[in-house]
Structure 1
Amino acid sequence: MLTIPYSVLLRVVLEVKGRKNNTFQSYDENMMEDNECGLTEHLRQRESACKGDMMSADAVKTVPINCTQYAQRIRDLEAKLKNEKHARHRAETLAETGLQELRESQKRLALLQIVTEGANRSSDVSASLKLALSEICEQMGWAFGCAYLVERSGLEAVGCDIWYARDPQKLAPMIELSRKAHFSVGESIPGLALSARAPVIINHPSANPKLLRFSAARQCGLVAACAFPIWTGEEIAAVIEFSSFDTIGKAPETINLIQQIGTQLGRVIERERSRQILLREALHDPLTGLANRLQFSRKGEQAFAALRRDRKGLAVIAIDLDGFKAINDCHGHAAGDAVLVQIARSLQCVSADWQSALKITGKAVELLPARIGGDEFVIMIRGDVGQEDLAAFATLIHDRLRTSHGACDAVHMALGTSIGIAQIGTGHVEFEQLLRDADLAMYQGKADGGGQAVFFTVQLGNDVRESRQLLAELQQAPELNQLILYYQPIVDVACPSRIIGFEALVRWDHPVRGLLEPGAFIPVAEAGGVIGSIGGWVLEEAICCLRRFQEELPEELQPVISVNIAAAQFLDAGFENKVIQLLRDNCVHQSALTLEVTESVALVDPARTARVLNRLRKSGVRTSLDDFGTGYSSLSYLKNLPFDTIKIDRSFIQALANTGCRSIVRAILDIADSMNLKVVAEGIETTQQCETVRLMGVEMGQGYLFGRPMPERMAIELLTGGQIPDASLRYG
């Protein structure tokens, strides 16, 4: 007898039923209660009658069974059930994994969104970094996060005191060593990220000299750390570092998330850098890096508002470079810019030195150097300092800037300084007044010859304002034909009736003040920067006068005219060409013109002076060194400068009674003789002076004894009145 387990036979029946309905369902009790199949009920009845779990095939008369067919069918069904169960389990596992990944992805997106929104809301790098550190630590379960800004060189990560700790007390040793630490490339975790230029993750680090905080990390229970670079373009701008009590996984999703956060932080840093650049450009001089006028005025207004009731503790020093325009004109703006940069550095250094010196004496001051114009610098001084301290500071500035010189094409350039000093007083109602007063004092120092420091006073202010009014009128004088040339004779001291030539001296026919001599307005012109245009007018008018002399006088009566050349003219790049062209345009012989240059002008740039003088002399123009003995009087320079004549300054002639002055005059004559130069003595006013210089060997003289400066018509009358120029002593 073939026996079949009841449960198997039941499954066969149910399978047949399931196929009939084209469905495959679970074998539950609802299906068993279906009365459509009589066999099902019959089997249930037979089951209770059978012993055990087996029944006789004869007992089931209504079910014909093919053993081979149903055995295979049973095996197929069991395999299918097994596969279905496995598939269902795998689907459930995949679904659970997918849900978990979805939840993690949502968390990552939420974290990224929080940091991104925070970064977009704020331009404050510190706030954005703090937010990112706290959110990342909380999300990842990391214990500690710290940010480091990278120096522009890219060689060092510097702690900026931006950090987050989930347990600050427990992590105190690590916090203290990290928040303001400096790490070089390859040093500690941040330095390793800087070196690798990529994320770095280290679990269970061993003692390593490069891991500088290893002991502190172990003391705090930290077993893992990671660091991520923050990029701005191709540059690493910062590094964020994290530490954990547990190992840190190297899942790509985590690394990618932190890098995306780093991208957002990099944009914040880039925005802040751009803002700082714009702010710096707005408040700093782009050439020298010093504060500009805007920042200086703002800081000054703040300092003025913070003054005590006694109105003390604030001063301004104004500094102007003497002769800078001439250097700019001579060598170009590149050389001028180089000089300005060097001057700015010198001012910063001398300010720091003076500040340190005062600190030793117990005086605390704050200094703000600034460049507020082309060659105009200012320094604001906050602190209780007296006039003596300020005078000492001005002396330091003079000394330091005197040695500050630039080089352009191997050309030496020397500079002087005019300094004005103004201290706060009861009459000042705003900072700009204090700045204006310092500027007025500086202007007065420049008008007085430069190279000195002047303190502002009320009277000085009135005088300078008057000078500035005069300057405004002087600028219009050439156009209004108010300038006139006068001519002072230069004679043979052995025979004063012999006129050798004339020196052209400018006068200003002022509509209100009358005829003004050079001393009344030339310093104003020099200080105001218009001496170049005035000098240009004088040169052109003198050459025109020579043309008229040639037209009106016979050749034997035609004199030489000497013209003083200002530094602004002489150092102009095209000066010699202008002189030669003016002579050609007026058909005047070059030898009829002598150009007088002072020592201070000649020695601004000795090499260039030599080139210009040589070219002029080759064209036939004569040259003279004016006021010899009052400037540098350096033989090493003089022997290389091609002059024809030396003019002894009037101060030595006026003091000939002094043994020392006579010795100086003799020395000058010896120098001239050794260099084959002619000599003119200026300022001869008495016959005794004339006789003295004649006996000493002086050939030519000039002064009131021989004639005061006179208009052109009077000079012609003097020449035609029988005074014949001496051809053998022709001036120049």
Structure 2
Amino acid sequence: MPEQLDNGEQERRRWARTGVSLRTIASVVVLLVALPVVALLWWSAERLQVAVRQDTVEHAQAMADGVARRHAQLVAEVRSVLTVTAQLPRLVDEPAYCTALMKRLLTSDQAFANLGVIGVDGRVLCSALPFREGLNLGDRGYFRRALETRSFAAGTYQTGRITGVPGINFGLPMIGADGEVVAVVFAAIGSRWLAELVDSSALPGGATLVLLDHDLNELLRHPAQAPDGLVMPLQRAALAALIQRQPLGGSIPVPAAGAADPSHHYTYLRLGGDVVYDAPYLVLGWPQDELATSLTAITRRQPLVVFGALLLLAALVWLLVNAVVMAPVRRLAASASRLARGEQGVRLPAGGRVAELLAMSSAFNHMADRIDGAMRAYAVLSTGNRILLREQDERSLLEAMCRVGVEVGGYRCAGVVYVTETGIEPMARAGDDGGFAAYLQAHWDTALAHQTPTAQAIASGEVVVMKDATATPATHELFRAAAGRGLRSGLVLPLRVDGSVIGALSLHSAEADAFNAREVELLSEMADDLSFGIATARLRERGRLAEVRLRHLAYFDAVTGLPNQASFVEHTTGLTAGSSGSLAVLVVQIQNYWEIAATLGQASGDEFLNDVARRLEALSPTLLARVAQSEFALLVSDADESAANREANRTLASLAPPAQLTSVGVDIQATVGIAVGGRRPGDAERLLQAAKLAAHEAGDGASQVLLAHPDLDKEWRERLILAGDLRAAIDMRALQVHVQPQLDLRSGKICSMEALARWRHPLHGDVSPARFIGLAEKTGLIRPLTYAILDGVCELAARHAAAGLLLPIAVNVSTRNLHDPQFVARVKELLDHWPLPRNCLHLELTETAVMDDPVRSLKVLQELHALGLPIYLDDFGTGYSSMTYLRELPLSGLKIDRAFTIGLAQPQTRQIVQAMIDLGHALGLKVVAEGTEDEATLAILADMGCDIAQGYGIARPMPNAEIAAWIARWPGRRMPGTSNGDASPGR
């Protein structure tokens, strides 16, 4: 099917078939007037030449105004694009993102030759076109002016180092968060737009243009390849002198021996209006009018005749020429001038019978229609860019864009639809669509089946133009629906966000074929800008929601939804301001939270905390908050110590029933710390801290409730200071190793010893082992402390072995050591470093330490046993060991706790101890009794078959330096009921 001709071409061909040619009219006039009318024709030709020259000047002025306006529009576009892109900090930090964005901007507007970003050092950071690595544009004028003025700046006409084509460059500085310039974003505009403007203005062939700045330097020229003499007939100095005499414009005389073509008439004009860059002059080379030249040649070839005889006939000829030719030409010139001044509604009437003039009128009207559509599209694009900067909300942005299409573009209606899982959803509209958007939504399946414009644009991601809905086949019900609502032509522009088409922007007109190619191109750019605005609005909304979320997280607990510590202190301070009376802060510490979370999983731990929170909320405190992982704070107003204690007991009662987790009842082990105080500034935070310390202190004692006393925080500060001193003592190896001998009850000889840590503080003297060992357990220092003692014991055992004293030394190991994944490896390193028999080092672990995590303990003990280390179970009888599990442990012996040894005078206790000894022997283990304070106890233990005894009745702990001399003085003894053999039962 042949391509359909546009309306302007059809009109020109119709008049070519029906009109009378100018050559025919001239021939008839010559036949009528013959020789006598030559003089009249000469005179008429001169008038025609004057009119044509006047028309030339007016047309040149109009062209100059058009150039100025187009340049202003281009610069406005450049400024708009650079203003938007200069606000994107990612351009400097992400070259790939910057290059992709610049390429998209370059392809979206053909006026641009290139876009990119230049660092403050002049080095090109990114460009839409490929560039040489390390290219530096620091010498370019627009770059230096942009840095100096910190504002929009333009350069001069020069060949681009990246583009390789002549053009003008513009720059805009990017300002960082600290107010300093971080880069310059630039855009290059070539001379292509000038050629397009000349072509679109229907100028005669051979016309030349050159754009000059204030210093008469050339900015742009058309044609770009034209010789210098053709576009610029005078040198700059001569032209400057001419401008000084006539600053607003005038004709340029062509030198007799110049390089300029004498067939051109040259005019220079000062560009009017608000020119935003340095380009005030336009030099226009206009070819001599063919009609004037032809008429002049005719009149000069004929001889002169008597003028008076043919005056009447000459007058008739003059009237004919004036009416048929001059009047249409003057109307054309006047209309062209009005159009150049911005009167976009100017059109020429279709009357007359001269084919050439009719063709010119038709071409003018067609050009005016194209300019009118393009200017509407430019106005829509420009206004839309301002809206992008103003509107923050996505819905408001869409509605504003639709209003721009109707109010600024003059279209019948505009609307935006989004694609959903079930169809489409109208998001915004403006103008009168007769309900077509709702109709389209209801018949979306039909639209998809017939690939109507909206469905086709969304499915393909391409722009779709509907020229005339009435010309569509009747099978397309949607086209008939659109035509019936007065929507004859339309333009559907897909909206693409993050690489996917999310919907479409539709513009409709009541006229057929209302959207020309340039208009479609500009409106497509507007749709791209709208897509960018939607993406920006969504990013802004996500940022706002994230900020709200962060603010919520700053004041509320994510698990329970309760206020956090900062919110508790802030609200408590506000509640206490200006009030009298005391208030109480209760801190509930859940002791077994970490055990539950580690055993049952974090989800169960969170469910456990929410159960606790619900129970505490049911108590209706003045304020409830979660102030730590396993701590809740309750504020009780107008409460003294007695009322606070009652509230604490009430709180514990609410936590008494077990929590049901995964069909398992779990006890809630809690302590409550209480702090009561006044309502002075700062009391809220002070009371909360005191209550926390009291809750921690209650966890170490027998009571579940503890009232904070004035010295509690002082004691905790002293603990922290002591912990720091202990860390320093460990690092400096200032701890001492004392040893306590152990007696073989059968042979009466010293068979082993236990290593005990001692610490002499430089200020406080000897620190109780119970105090600093407990402090080490709580602060995590027990690990380096154990390693330090083990290292000292290995060194001591090595010295003893060198001196011939081969006695095993026992070292206590805590729960934290068993949980340390590096413990076995560190012990092996010590044994490798100190070469001594493996049985010279014993390890002692309490029942509690082993049963805290039986599976892991068994694995660690097996690894230690594989190293050849004897392992003893300390404080046996005080824990809850399973006999079956005890049988599986790789033990060498049991140590009966002193709590049983010192009660041997009681028959029941003696029976228990006897059972322990028998059990140990039954398992093939040695049995060690701690706490033997006298000879009678030693005798009873020996009689009961106990293997080894340890206690003050034998010797007190002593410095390791004294043990060798003490053993040398030990006389040995024979215990009652024993033989001299070294064998022990069960071994």
Q: What TM-score do you get using the length of structure 1 for normalisation?
A: 0.62
Question: Equivalent residue for 1:41?
Answer: 312
Contact 1:13–1:40 under 8 Å retained in 2 = no
Q: 1:439 to 1:229 in 2, by over 3 A?
A: farther
Number of the residue aligned with 1:410: none
Secondary structure of residue in 2 paired with 1:260: helix
Q: Distance in 1 between matches of 2:958 and 2:459?
A: 85
The answer as to whether partners of 1:628 and 1:646 remain within 8 angstroms in 2 is yes
Alignment partners' CA distance in 2, 1:443 and 1:695? 46
Which residue matches 1:588?
836
Match of 1:262 among 503, 527, 531: 531
* Equivalent pair of 1:501/1:560 in contact (CA under 8 Å): yes
Where does residue 447 of structure 2 map in the other structure? none
Is residue 690–residue 713 contact of structure 2 (8 Å, CA) maintained in 1?
yes
Indicate which of 96, 112, 117 corresponds to 2:384.
Answer: 112
Partners in 2 of 1:19 and 1:312 — Cα distance? 115
User: Corresponding residue for 2:105?
Assistant: none
Tell me how far apart the structure 1 counterparts of residues 625 and 463 of structure 2 sit (CA, whole Å): 45
**Closer, same or farther: CA 378–340 of 1 in aligned 2, 3 Å:** farther
Q: Structure 2 vs 1, CA of residues 102 and 618 (structure 1 numbering), >3 Å: closer, same or farther?
A: closer
Q: Is the 8 A contact 2:844 2:871 kept in 1?
A: yes
* 1:138 paired to 2:386: no
Distance 1:726 1:240 in 2: 102
1:530 equivalent in structure 2: 781
Relative to structure 1, is the Cα distance of residues 87 and 200 closer, same or farther in structure 2, using a 3 angstrom cutoff?
closer
Contact map agreement 2:847 2:880 (CA 8 A) in 1 = yes
1:440 partner letter? L
| 1:132-531 superposed matches below 5 A | 132-140=397-405, 231=497, 233=498, 257-270=526-539, 273=542, 298-308=566-576, 309=579, 312=583, 348-359=606-617, 367-368=625-626, 386-388=647-649, 391=652, 421=673, 425-426=677-678, 429-430=681-682, 432-434=685-687, 436-437=689-690, 440-441=693-694, 444=697, 456-478=708-730, 482-493=734-745, 495=746, 497-531=748-782
Distance in 2 (alpha carbons) for counterparts of 1:422 and 1:301: 16
Q: CA deviation at 1:563?
A: 0.6
CA separation of 1:111/1:534 partners in 2, compared to 1, >3 Å: closer, same or farther?
same
Q: Secondary structure at the match of 2:362?
A: helix
Say if 1:726 and 1:395 are closer, same or farther in 2 by CA, change over 3 A: farther
- Structure 2 CA distance, aligned partners of 1:420 and 1:672? 42
Aligned mates of 2:763, 2:839 — CA distance in 1:
39
* Cα displacement (A) at 1:275: 7.9
Contact 1:319 1:442 in 2 (8 A): no
Distance 1:306 1:576 in 2: 54
Within 1, Cα distance between the matches of 2:591 and 2:462?
Answer: 54
Cα distance per residue 1:190-228 (max 9 Å; x no partner): xx99x9796999x9xxxxxxxxxxxxxxxxx9x99x997
Residue 433 of structure 1 deviates from its aligned partner by 3.2
- Counterparts of 1:240 and 1:417 in 2: how far apart (Å)? 61
TM-score (structure 2 length as normaliser)? 0.48
- In terms of mean alpha carbon deviation, does 692-701 or 462-471 score higher? 692-701
| Offset at residue 590 of structure 1 (A) | 1.3
Letter in 1 for 2:530: I
- The residue type paired with residue 952 of structure 2 is Y
Distance 1:445 1:82, change over 3 A: farther
Aligned residues: 592
Q: Deviations over 1:147-175 (max 9, x none)?
A: 99x9xxx9999x9xx998989xxx9xx9x
8 Å Cα contact 2:894/2:925 also seen in 1 = yes
- CA distance in structure 2 between the partners assigned to 1:243 and 1:346 by the alignment: 57
Deviates further, 657-666 or 617-626: 657-666
CA offsets 1:6-33 (integer angstroms, 9 cap, x no match) = 9x977975898797656998xxxxxxxx
Aligned 8 A contact 2:674 2:695 in 1: no
Q: Do the aligned residues in 2 keep the contact of 1:420 with 1:445 (CA within 8 Å)?
A: yes
Match of 1:471, SS? helix
Equivalent pair of 1:503/1:562 in contact (CA under 8 Å): yes
Aligned-partner Cα distance in 1 for 2:936–2:413: 101
Match of 2:875 in 1: 627
Which whole-Å CA distance do the structure 2 matches of 1:239 and 1:424 have between them?
Answer: 63
Given that 1:347 and 1:397 are in contact with CA atoms closer than 8 Å, whether structure 2 keeps it comes out as no
- Which of 599, 606, 617 does residue 865 from structure 2 map onto? 617
Amino acid at match of 2:798: R
Specify the alignment match of 1:32 in structure 2: none
Q: Cα RMSD (Å) of the superposition?
A: 6.1
Q: Distance in 2 between matches of 1:496 and 1:197?
A: 99
Opposite residue 307 of structure 1, the aligned amino acid is: L
After superposition, the Cα gap between the structure-2 partners of 1:100 and 1:387, relative to the gap in structure 1 and judged at 3 Å, is farther
CA 1:281–1:42 in 2, change beyond 3 Å: closer, same or farther? closer
Residue type of the partner of 1:678?
A: K
Query: Structure 1 662/297 Cα, relative in aligned 2: closer, same or farther at 3 Å?
Result: same
Q: Secondary structure at the match of 2:736?
A: strand
Give 1:582's aligned amino acid.
L
CA distance change for structure 1 residues 534 and 100 in 2, over 3 Å: closer, same or farther?
A: same
Shift, 1:252, TM fit: 7.6
AA matched with 2:849: V
**What amino acid is aligned across from residue 528 of structure 1 in structure 2?**
T
Inter-partner Cα distance in structure 2 for 1:355 and 1:147: 47
Which 10-residue stretch deviates more, 530-539 or 542-551? 542-551
Which of the residues 702, 723, 732 maps onto 2:972? 723
Deviations 1:558-594 (A, max 9, x none): 4321110234444444433443443454443211211
Partners in 2 of 1:227 and 1:381 — Cα distance?
60
CA distance in 2 between partners of 1:367 and 1:87 (Å)? 86
**Could you say if the C-alpha distance between residues 464 and 118 of structure 1 is closer, same or farther in structure 2, counting changes exceeding 3 Å?**
same
Partner of 1:559: 807
In 1, Cα distance between equivalents of 2:415 and 2:901: 84
Which stretch shifts more, 695-704 or 660-669? 660-669
1:102 pairs with 2:371 = no
Asked whether the 8 Å contact 2:582–2:676 carries over to 1, the reply is yes
Counterpart amino acid of residue 725 in structure 2: E
Q: Does 1:90 align with 2:351?
A: no
Amino acid at match of 1:433: R
1:114–1:652: structure 2 CA closer, same or farther, 3 Å change rule? Answer: farther
Tell me what 2:207 maps to.
none
Q: Give the drift of 1:441.
A: 3.9
Aligned match for 1:128, one of 387, 393, 406: 393
Structure 1 position 476, deviation (Å) = 2.9
